[in-house]
Amino acid sequence: MRLLVTGGAGFIGSNFVRHWVHEHPDDGVVVLDALTYAGNRANLSGLGVELVHADIADGAAVGRALEDHGIDTVVHFAAESHNSRGALDPGIFFRTNVVGTQVLLEAARRNGVARFHHISTCEVYGELALDARHAFSEESPYRPRTPYSASKAGADHAVRAYAATFGLPVTITNCANNYGPYQFPEKLVALCATRALDDRSLPLYASLANKREWLHVADHCRAIEAVLERGRVGETYLVGSGVEASIEEIADLVLEAAGKPQSLKKIVPDRPGHDTRYLLDSSKLCGELGWSPTIELGEGIAATVDWYARHRSWWEPLLAGASVDEHAWASAGR
C-alpha cells in the first residue's frame, strides 16, 4: 500500500503516520501538509517519510503528489479544526475544509486511487442535552452549529457525493474529542497540560458542566487502521470511547497529574455556539471490525501530561501561535 496522508504533520495525522510506519514497515507513506501554525515538521522526525509541502486546495500540487508517488490510498486529516479560531475567522475553515476536500477528491478521482478515507468529527451532528439518554449514530441527522462543524459537514457531503456520482471508493470516520502527544497547545488537554506545567491559569469556558467524549489518539489511529483494512467501502463508522467528562473534570485530571493546585482554574466567557455535549455510538465499528478502545481516560491524561513535561523543547516554541483571545467574541460579529 502507498498512502498519502494529508495533514500528516499535525496532531492526529502525525500520530497516525507514526502508528502506520511502525505497524506496516513495508508500506510507503507520503505526507502532504500546508505547514500552517498547527503543522510541525518535527512531528515526523525520524519516521523516514517524505513530506510534500502543499495546500490541499492546490489541485496541481495534489495531483503531482498522487502521480509522482504512485499513491493508491488517501487518508485525509488536513483541516482547520479549532472552534475558537473558527468563530473569529470562519472563511479559512470553509476554504480548507470544504473547497480543499473537494479539490483533493477530484485529484483522487482523476488518479484512480483505490481508497479515499476521510476523517471527520462528532460535531457535525450538533449537540446533545446533558440529560439525553441516546448517543449519535451513523444515521443521526447533521445539525452543525459552528463554522468548524458546518465546514466539516460540507466536507462529509462532498466525500459522499464523489462516491455516489463518480464511484470513488470512500470510507468516513467521525471521531470523538482526541487527546495525546503532539497536540498543538490550543485544544483543552494540551492547553491545560502546558499551562499547568508553567503554573499559569487554565482558562475554562463558563459552561463548566458541558461534556465531551474523550478518545486517546492511539486508539483513534487503531480505529482508522481497522477501517482501512476491514471496513466496507462506502460506509461511515463512528469512533468513540464511550467515556465522557466535563471541561472541569478534564482540568482536574490534568492538575492532579501535574501536581498543581485547583486555584489555577480560571473561568472565561463561553465562545459562540459552544455545544453542550457529544456522545457517539461506536457499536458498528466494534461489532463489524473488532475494534475497541484500550486506554482509560485517567491513565491517558496522566501519560499525556507526562509527555508534555518531558517534551518542553517541542511545545514551548509553539506557544506564540497558540493563543486565541477568549474575550473577542463580542466584536467577532461586527
At residue 203, φ and ψ (nearest 5 deg) are -75, 120
Q: What is the pTM of this model?
A: 0.94
pLDDT of residue 334: 44
Angle between helices 11-23 and 217-230 (to 10 degrees): 60
At residue 144, φ and ψ (nearest 5 deg) are -65, 150
Whether residue 226 lies inside any domain: the answer is yes
Task: Tell me the C-alpha to C-alpha distance, in Å, between residue 141 and each of 124, 126, 244, 318.
Answer: 9, 9, 21, 37
Whether residue 267 lies inside any domain: the answer is no
Whether residue 204 lies inside any domain: the answer is no
CATH of the domain at 221: 3.40.50.720
pLDDT of residue 145: 92
Whether residue 330 lies inside any domain: the answer is no
Number of structural domains in the chain? 1
**Amino acid (one-letter) located at 25:** P
Grid cell, residue 289, equals 471490525
pLDDT of residue 205: 86
Helix ranges restricted to H, 138-258: 147-166, 188-197, 217-230, 247-258
pLDDT of residue 276: 85
What would the DSSP string read from start to end of 34-79?
Answer: ---TT--GGGGTTS--EEEE--TT-HHHHHHHHHHTT--EEEE---
Whether residue 264 lies inside any domain: the answer is no
pLDDT of residue 323: 58
299's enclosing H/E stretch is helix 297-310
Distance CA 133, CA 127 (A): 13
Whether residue 95 lies inside any domain: the answer is yes
Contact 174, 160 (CB under 8 A): no
pLDDT of residue 303: 98
pLDDT of residue 129: 93
Which domain, by its residues, includes 124?
2-176+215-239
Whether residue 46 lies inside any domain: the answer is yes
- Point out which residues pair with 42 in neighbouring strands: none
C-alpha dihedral (186, 187, 193, 198), degrees to nearest 10: 20
pLDDT of residue 86: 64
Neighbours of 300 (CB within 10 A): 24
Q: What is the pLDDT along the chain (334 residues), one digit of tens a residue?
A: 999 999 999 999 999 999 999 999 999 999 999 999 889 999 999 999 999 999 999 999 999 999 999 999 999 999 987 667 767 788 989 999 999 999 999 999 999 999 999 999 999 999 999 999 999 999 999 999 999 999 999 999 999 999 999 999 999 999 999 999 999 998 999 999 999 999 999 999 888 888 999 999 999 999 999 999 999 999 999 999 999 999 999 999 999 999 999 999 999 887 776 778 999 999 999 999 999 999 999 999 999 999 999 999 999 999 886 555 555 544 554 4
Whether residue 133 lies inside any domain: the answer is yes
